[in-house]
Amino acid sequence: MKLQQRKELLVQLGTYMQGKNQAWIEVKHRAYLENNWFIPEFIEIAVNNIVTSFLQPSQLETLVKTYSIPEENSAPQMVGIVMAGNIPLVGFHDLLCVFLTGHFAKIKASSKDQVLITHLVEQMISWQPASQKYFTFSGMLKDCDAYIATGSNNSSRYFEYYFNKYPHIIRKNKSSVAILNGNESTADLEGLADDAYQFFGLGCRNVTKIFVPREYDFQPLLLAFKKYDHLADYHKYRNNYDYNLAIYMLNNRYYMTNGSILLVEDASITSPISQLNFEYYTNEAEVRARLLNNDSVQCVVGKNNIPFGNAQCPSITDFADGIDTINFLMQLSENNYKPTVNEVRRP
């Protein structure tokens, strides 16, 4: 397939994903039945973010022009993709990059997120049979020329062991943070609620910790966060909330809550489901300096950073972990790929 054909197929996929095709509706429902963390509300958010940020003609053309992607890949490689399953279609961007650059994708979908990605690939093949050679699903990723793998800190050790002799990108656990100054508007705080609550906080771009100045008034934040009170009705989330609440009560540890999330002073960047950590600061510049050297931080939300409410809306060129996936794939074709320091991570 020519580059133009691949672009057109991706645009067609975006149109389909925003449509009301009965098969697509049923697939989204089945995805929820197989993984109750994928509630319909969050599946729709994930789908909409992909369509609006990745699958518009102008965005695809931006990638093509920025990287001078050729009309034909003269040396296509088999790229194994190990997809995570923490949020719906979290591995879609990797698949898009591999397909757009003309490589072949061998996909190991997560058991938590098989339904959606499999259906979308099947749709593309049904519209354009010539695309079939670009996609293979497999439980084991053998005989690949390169690998892109996303998983936990523990699984990344195995990825390093098995994929170390091949060109690779390996991603570990990450979380995101927000820096508040106390002058945020109600709209800002409601946007922060999106960043913290969407996908139940399971995404690497979810805000799991906030930095606030001394004497910060939490009441406006807790009030704005009531936007997501309905999540307390979902049993899986509620079970986590009730468990964490009980632990803090039994240990007489200070916490704040609005009935759907716990605010706890904690130095850790990551937090359990239903909890948002916070830390006081006296010097914002020092906080920013600390975060620059923290490998566990995916992105920073706040003034002069990612705007509140946009953490889950990366652009097509916002590459996970700051590792340029398109550049990695383009160098594969040229047979001169040399991993950067960020891309080689020892266990």
Tens of pLDDT, residue by residue over 119-166, are 999 999 999 999 999 999 999 999 999 999 998 888 888 898 889 999
Using the structure block, give the residue that is written with the tokens 């975006």. 14
Query: In 3D, which of 228, 185, 207, 187 has the Cα closest to residue 299?
Result: 207
Edge to edge, the sheet with strand 262-265 lists: 256-257, 262-265, 275-281, 207-213, 175-179, 297-302
Backbone angles phi, psi at 20, to 5 degrees: -115, 30
Burial, 98: exposed, middle or buried (Cβ in 10 Å; 0-12, 13-18, 19+)? buried
In sequence order, what E strands does 153-294 have?
168-171, 175-179, 207-213, 256-257, 262-265, 275-281
Q: What does the DSSP 8-state code read for residue 321?
A: G
Specify whether the CB–CB gap between 197 and 231 falls below 8 A: yes
Count Cα atoms within 13 angstroms, Cβ side, for 203.
26
DSSP per-residue string spanning 223-252: HHGGGGGGGGGSHHHHHHHHHHHHHHHHTT
pTM given for the model: 0.93
Domains by residue range for the chain, with CATH: 3-173+315-343 (3.40.605.10), 175-295 (3.40.309.10)
Q: What is the pLDDT of residues 288-311, one digit of tens each?
A: 999 998 989 999 999 999 999 999
Single-letter amino acid, residue 18: Q
Count Cα atoms within 13 angstroms, Cβ side, for 296.
13
The pLDDT tens digits along the chain (347 residues) read 999 999 999 999 999 999 999 999 999 999 999 999 999 999 999 999 999 999 999 999 999 999 999 999 999 999 999 999 999 999 999 999 999 999 999 999 999 999 999 999 999 999 999 999 999 999 999 999 999 999 888 888 889 888 999 999 999 999 999 999 999 999 999 999 999 999 999 999 999 999 999 999 999 999 999 999 999 999 999 999 999 999 999 999 999 999 999 999 999 999 999 999 999 999 999 999 999 989 899 999 999 999 999 999 999 999 999 999 999 999 997 765 544 433 433 22
Q: What is the pLDDT of residue 337?
A: 53
Q: Cα 92 from chain centroid?
A: 9
